Amino acid sequence: MGLFDKNKEEEKSDSSILSSSEDSSKGLEELEKRRNERLGILPGKRGRKPKSETLQDELTKDLFKPSVWQEVSALPFNIRKAMTGSQIFDLNSDQKQALGGPLAMIMKLLVEIDPKYLALMVFSINLGSIWAEKEILWSMEKKRKKVNVKMPA
């Protein structure tokens, strides 16, 4: 008997290769499972698991109320009223509710798709309202100058 017996060594290495490949596949599955748990990926589903609903509800409880979005949805009418001075563009509460409810649902949907969309919408609305306000003020100033030029003559 020598230091190494080739027959026993070959049998041992063949069986250890099989067991090590089984162990490695189990090890790989275990690593993948740990990774998915760490990243919050649900088994059998793609993507991350949803945030805790209580945390999400606490953070956004008032954000998706239709009353919050009523004035935003009435913005084009308010701008038009300011531009024309006509009361026709005043919205009553039923009209504001009819616009605010669906807009709140749209905003909630955008947050579920990607919160960046809500940020984009808020920016766009703010930009539009500030721009419209400045245009209205400029138009009023232009009218005043025009009236002042005609008066001295």
| 20-52 per-position pLDDT tens digit | 555 666 677 787 788 777 777 766 655 555 556
Angle CA(36)–CA(42)–CA(46) in degrees, nearest 5?
A: 90
Do 143 and 81 have their domain in common? yes
pLDDT band at 94 (very low <50, low <70, confident <90, very high): very high
Do 26 and 75 have their domain in common? no
> Is-contact 121 108, C-beta < 8 A?
no
Do 105 and 36 have their domain in common? no
Do 37 and 58 have their domain in common? no
> Is-contact 9 1, C-beta < 8 A?
no
Of 134, 142, 131, 132, whose CA–CA distance to 78 is shortest?
A: 132
Do 36 and 66 have their domain in common? no
Domain that holds residue 37: 10-49
The pTM of the full predicted model, rounded to 2 decimals, is 0.49
pLDDT at 93: 92
Report which residue type is found at 26. Answer: K
Do 41 and 62 have their domain in common? no
Do 62 and 135 have their domain in common? yes
The answer to whether residue 35 is domain-embedded is yes
Do 45 and 60 have their domain in common? no
As a whole number of angstroms, the distance between CA 77 and CA 94 comes to: 14
- Helices 75-84 and 115-150 pack at an angle, to 10 degrees, of 0
As a whole number of angstroms, the distance between CA 10 and CA 7 comes to: 5
pLDDT at 153: 52
The answer to whether residue 1 is domain-embedded is no
What's the structural domain count of the chain? Answer: 2
pLDDT band at 53 (very low <50, low <70, confident <90, very high): low
The answer to whether residue 76 is domain-embedded is yes
Do 66 and 17 have their domain in common? no
Neighbours of 121 (CB within 10 A): 16
Surface-to-core class of residue 129, CB atoms within 10 Å of its CB (0-12 exposed, 13-18 middle, 19+ buried): middle
As a whole number of angstroms, the distance between CA 117 and CA 150 comes to: 49
